[in-house]
DNA sequence: TAGATTGTTAATCGATTAACAATC
DNA sequence: TAGATTGTTAATCGATTAACAATC
């Protein structure tokens, strides 16, 4: 079976969030075009994305909210709760930790690392901070495969290398430098500077 | 003239950053393949992207670092320094303010807004914080067209509406909800949850 | 000159969109 | 049934990649 594209995976995460919200509001079923409008996608995309998770709707009642959310969860999530390692407990790192705290119990930042010894051996937003020396041990002992990089640009490449050596197979990179990683490691680069410059450019041209 | 794609604009921002770095190191010229390797792009992309800004290299010496950085700057930047409005001075908002503080003098977060009166009328990371009531006035008086949204999901849609009414034409949206904006407004959605779930998914499948 | 690179066009690739028979 | 939606395939679109003549 071929893996769905990363765009499909990203959209599935969005659908699930919307479905959980709809469920809380008491909505039982949705049509592809409703989900599409809420998610900023097209009905075609929604139907194809949902096909990819193997869930089937009804041509009269559309998709059952609870069952579809469940199916997406089974597709996206690991069977067991998965930990995430974050490196770089600066302003951005702490904000990311706060952002995810309690949001997704099955995918939580479970270990943070910093080379600054003042930030270490504390619990920040429910997450324990370790010195860099313990990175290899903690990450490999806990079988953590997902990392978040919030270190300064100059350190990013070296830290990524350490993470990968410890067993990390996927990284969200917030450092303002492109990362050079071996194949077999998935990197999502969240480039805040490029995003802001892009938006400023198109805003100046009169928007999208 | 047709506008370059948003991917080209994003890459140009990356090239410029690399060029400024190369300039500081004393490098005078680069070839497309060198820039490509550093930026995580292909040489073809680099050449086509540079064509879009109207700069021309030499077939023997490649591109002049300083001149190309200058040309990209003229293409991407407004003639005058551009202000940016940020709404939502929570953990993430403050981290974003800290991240951009001093980084790009010509494109700086110049006004922040929050409905919490405890956060207002202060200067955070060099930027003044105003109450929401002053949003319309400050944004339109200063001619700000670029915004950053770091409010909770439930408020995002309403705040985006206010920003657009005040004259904003481009938005970086960090709120975990898709935004419904009129055409003529460019939105870049930085979806932290979807990014982390995507990375966790591919990490579990054995990386990229 | 010989050789490598640029500018630019054509070929490829993948994702989005449109279309429609099957379904309830 | 009539009508709207799903599942799925074909057409379209745009971006990436490959290719190569022109250049220095």
pLDDT at B208 over 70: no
Q: What is the pTM of this model?
A: 0.95
Mark yes or no for CB contact B198/A98 under 8 Å.
no
Distance in Å, alpha carbon of B150 to nearest chain A alpha carbon: 11
Residue with tokens 């509001």: A25
CB of B48 under 7 A from strand D? yes
Which nucleotide does the CA of B29 lie closest to, via C1'?
C5
Dist CA B112 CA B84 (whole Å): 9
Residue A206 DSSP SS3: coil
Burial string for A20-33 (b: 16+ CB within 10 Å, else e) reads eebeeeeeebbebe
Q: How far apart are CA A186 and CA B4, in angstroms?
A: 27
A173 touches chain B (CB under 8 A): no
What DSSP line would sit under B23-46, residue for residue? Answer: HHTT--EE-HHHHHHHHTS-HHHH
Alpha helices in chain B (DSSP H): 6-24, 32-39, 43-53, 65-76, 91-100, 135-142, 153-165, 192-204
pLDDT digit string, tens, across residues B149-165: 999 999 999 999 999 99
Q: Tens place of pLDDT for every residue, chain A, 208 residues?
A: 578 999 999 999 999 999 999 999 999 999 999 999 999 999 999 999 999 999 999 999 999 999 999 999 999 999 999 999 999 999 999 999 999 998 888 999 999 999 999 999 999 999 999 999 999 999 999 999 999 999 999 999 999 999 999 999 999 999 999 999 998 999 999 999 999 999 999 999 876 6
Q: Which residues contact B156 (CB under 8 A, 6 or more apart)?
A: B149, B173, B175, B177, B179
What DSSP designation does B119 have? G
- List the single residue in B14, B190, B203 with the smallest CB-CB distance to A146: B203
In DSSP terms, B129 is beta-bridged to: B112
pLDDT value at B1 more than 80: no
């Amino acid at each position: 079976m071929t893996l769905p594209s990363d765009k499909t995976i990203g959209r599935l995460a969005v659908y699930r969030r919307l479905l959980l919200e709809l469920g809380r509001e008491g909505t039982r079923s949705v049509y592809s075009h409703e989900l599409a409008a809420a998610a900023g996608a097209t009905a075609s995309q929604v139907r194809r994305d949902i096909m990819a998770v193997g869930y089937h709707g009804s041509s009269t009642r559309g998709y059952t909210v609870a069952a579809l959310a469940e199916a997406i969860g089974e597709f996206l999530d690991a069977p067991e709760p998965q930990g995430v390692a974050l490196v770089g407990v600066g302003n951005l790192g702490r904000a990311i930790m706060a952002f995810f705290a309690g949001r997704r119990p099955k995918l939580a930042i479970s270990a943070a690392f910093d080379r600054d010894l003042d930030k270490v051996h504390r619990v920040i937003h429910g997450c324990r901070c370790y010195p860099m020396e313990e990175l290899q041990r903690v990450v490999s002992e806990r079988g953590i495969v997902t990392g978040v990089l919030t270190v300064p640009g100059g350190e990013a490449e070296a830290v990524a290398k350490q993470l990968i050596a410890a067993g990390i197979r996927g990284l969200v990179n917030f450092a303002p430098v492109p990362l050079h990683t071996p194949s077999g490691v998935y990197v999502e680069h969240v480039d805040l500077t490029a995003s802001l410059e892009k938006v400023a450019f198109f805003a100046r041209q009169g928007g999208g």
